[in-house]
Structure 1
Amino acid sequence: MSSSVPTRSLSLVPFLAADAVLLATALLIAWRTPDELTGGALLGVIVCTGLGAIIAVLPFVLNDAHAREAALAERQHELVELVTTSTANASRWGTQWASAATGLEDAATLASRSIAAAERLPSVFQEKVEALTIRLEQAELGAQARETRVSGQDAEFAAKAEQMSAAATKLEQLLAGCDRMEAGLRESLREQHAAFAATLAEFPVAAARAQSQREALDERLASAPAQFEARVERAATEAEERLSATTVAITTRLNELEATLATLMERIANVSLPVPAAAPEPVLTPAPVAVPVPAPVVSVPSAAVVAAPVVEQAPEPVIESASEPEVVSAPVIVAPVSQPDLTLAPAPSPVAAPAPVTAPEPVKPIMDPFYIPNNGYAALADAMDAGE
């Protein structure tokens, strides 16, 4: 929750100045009134005095309201932070306890089902015993009736009695087996209860272990920024050393280029041009104008070769004189080379063949020292190694 309350309180100077002006106006009205204060003069004095009092009290009221709003906003911000922290902790621990409670509920459901089944066994066995008892009683009644009716069937009744005795014996054995089964079920329920109790006793130990692991993780996270800063400082130091080595290599290469350019300038300065022969004032007819060919741009790329200046000759103009026409060689037009303060000195001797200009050695590409790749200082170090 962000608060929109201004951070600065109202200044008292404008309000006090307005209050002083209103009070001065009231005093001026009272002083200018010759008679008693009545009517408009009294009303003006009352209005000025009331407005002055209101304006004097207004900044204090507004500042107090501002302070209350600021305190309320700060309190709300603290409450929001507390609620956020509590909610996060409660959700985390609630998730853990919910998973544990789910497992316990499943185990408790299974145990309750087993107990309910064990509790229903005696009633079922009792119902079966009662049914068998009723049947035995009915059989005994029938036997007595038969004895009274037929006295000759004693042997048959004895056999039936023996069968009933055997059935009763089997029933007793069945009841004994049921008792043993019930005892086994109760023992298994006790063991399960003991296992549940041991599991519940292990929960505080697991919570303490989780807390210790969390503290260890917090310590590692706290030490991670320092390790990162140390690695960044080490990488920056290595980058500075490599940049220094690259700067030295660039300076050396620039010095070599300057020496090569100076040699080239000296050779160009030694090139001589022919001087036109003296002739009587000829009558010049319009001739094609020699258009100078633009000089080639001398660029020094990473692996380029500096080319020698190209000398272009314009077409010879036609000269007509009063006597025999003779052909006068036109001056050679040399394309200007883009070099500062470069002049071609004419020589009295004929044009000599220009000395061949040897091209300087190809310049090795130089890596930009201010280029930093996207993947950080490691790629910068690899690029610097490749540039060396």
Structure 2
Amino acid sequence: MQTNLADFMRNTPDGEEADAILRKCVHCGFCTATCPTYQLLGDELDGPRGRIYLIKQLVEGAPATRSTQTHLDRCLTCRSCETTCPSGVQYGRLVEIGRKITEEKITRPIGQRVMRRVLASFVPNSALFTPTMRLGQHVRRLLPKKLRDKVPARQRMLEWPTTTHARKMLMLAGCVQPSMMPNVNIATARVLDALGIQTIVAPEAGCCGAIRLHLGYTDEALDDIRANIDAWWPYVEQGAEAIVMNASGCGSTVMEYAHLLRDDPAYAAKAQRIVELTRDIAQILPDFEEPLIALTRRRAVHTVAFHPPCTLQHGQQIRGKVEHLLEALDIEVRLPADSHLCCGSAGTYSLTQPALSYTLRNQKLEKLNALEPQMIVSANVGCISHLQSGTSMPVAHWIELVEHMLSA
């Protein structure tokens, strides 16, 4: 696809990147077959190919319109199209450039501006989010259903392991997971502890940056990213083996740190080192398959349906590892039809695009429930919460199941 960048994009990092990505696209349309919003709406402009044309027009100087912004807003950034694309088009990066242009040139309606500002200020701030979530969980039964859907029931917390080990790994606790689903982090630490690895959480590390980044607050997102690097760096220098991610959405964003800070001379090299150390827990545990088999025993749950989050299978390109590990532990894993499609969670998408989000959730749950599992497992806090709000079947992180299987 040939491009002719407008003056405001020429010789800029975003312009050069957009030009390189656009030139890879051969507008074959394979991406439309795996795009959730195109499948729902049937509109070319609500599929990757159509959105690519819209972004091409933007970078070539066409006026940004509210219509263009709406079509870009509807994108889940699930990146299923990237997995499908035979030409290697990095659509996820391209759509962020398109969104940045429209945010700069289009004034949103007041309601949208307020909602997005509140989300960007509140959700990544654990000092605000945690007490609010605790209050919501306390009065959960009294909340209207739409709000109750966003407040998972409070977990009875496991105990954090206290044994000191020579082997140490950092873990990103996240901004919402400690209050919404604290046992995901604790279960991760307990499994690693059983394998002789100590889990360290840097107290100053916070949101991975994804929330603000995808809402268009790029500068604030980069500040989040730099703060995390600063928080982790002393432990990196002390020899931490890895930075463990158990929320695939966070992991997918952290894996982009080097790209996001590529033009920052103070952080570019550090960001690259962070990316090199970052591993999803699904990448770490397969190396310990035999010890895990010896440490675990089969419990009441022996058949699960697995929903692989988009940020795991498309963002990080991690496929099959969770299924293989659980099957090695004598758990039957069933994948739903169209397991490559998004559940509709997508960070704050369920708040900014509720109709599309809940339609996708219901479709996903229909396919998951059809498998007749004992429970549903996934690998991202947003997906787990979103799916749980639509079914009476238990939904949990797969690492919680592994922890439950540890022999007492």
Normalised-by-shorter TM-score class: under 0.3
TM-score, scaled relative to structure 2: 0.13
- Greater share of residues in helix: 1
- Greater share of residues in strand: 2
Q: Which has the larger radius of gyration?
A: 1
